[in-house]
Amino acid sequence: MIDLNGIRAIAFDADDTLWDCQSHYEAVENQLYGLISPYCHDPKQELFRTESANMADMGYGCKAFTISVLETALRVAGDHLSAAQLADLLAVSKSLLQLPATPLDGVEETLQRLAQTDYTLAVFTKGELQDQENKLKRSGLGRFFSHVEITSDKTEREFRALCGHLGIAPAELLMVGNSLRSDIAPALAIGAAAVYVPFHVTWQLEHTEEIEHERMVRIGRITELLNLLKIS
């Protein structure tokens, strides 16, 4: 069993940990695939190729995704698509800026219980600043967190910086998230503990091999975090 006795701060990923995000993105992706599939062998791979090429310059978030979607449509099928089709694709992509950010089942209950403890609660997520701030506001969960950090990436460097901002040692941090690549692996690498809460869909750029580690545990529902921390 994972030892969480020395934990002082708990950091939560946002998208697909606190609220559903990726399924909304997949709806847009499916619209793109429907438009370009007659003109390429693997539409999913075409979008992945574009997003991978754009990542270093654009990072993560709705705006980068929208540009990659339109770029893919134009590159693969531009001569075959009408202005109306491209306008519809743009509109549905921009609608992601207003996705509901409704808390996932058990999230609000779990945060409410944790907020009554001595743990410092933080949001630690990557993406575009205004988009992530707006989703946190719409979710209604902001009241539970004393620290919010939105970063362009989540590597060991950003995790160490988070610990510095929270005034704790890495061993005193518990990271909770749905991405093995972004939430779990870098946290473990600096000596933190991690709780992996898989989501039913995962962005292709976040796919990685499974991880087994003495400082990591996998749970099926976020409410199980309370049992791990022995909160009755």
Q: Model's pTM, two decimal places?
A: 0.89
Q: What is the pLDDT of residue 224?
A: 96
Q: What is the pLDDT of residue 2?
A: 82
> Is 210 or 16 the better-scoring residue by pLDDT?
16
Q: What 3-state DSSP class applies to 153?
A: coil
Please check the confidence at residue 115 and state whether its pLDDT lies above 70: yes
Give me the mean pLDDT over the 195-205 stretch: 70
Which of the four pLDDT bands, split at 50, 70 and 90, describes residue 23?
A: confident
What mean pLDDT, rounded, does the chain reach? 92
Q: What digits encode the pLDDT tens for the residues 130-139?
A: 999 999 999 9
Cβ(174)–Cβ(193) below 8 Å: yes
Which of the four pLDDT bands, split at 50, 70 and 90, describes residue 200?
A: low
Q: Within 10 Å of residue 231's Cβ, how many Cβ atoms?
A: 13
Q: Phi/psi at 75 (nearest 5 deg)?
A: -70, -40
Q: What digits encode the pLDDT tens for the residues 129-175?
A: 999 999 999 999 999 999 999 998 999 999 999 999 999 999 999 99
> Is 9 or 201 the better-scoring residue by pLDDT?
9
Q: What digits encode the pLDDT tens for the residues 49-84?
A: 999 999 888 878 889 999 999 999 999 998 999 999
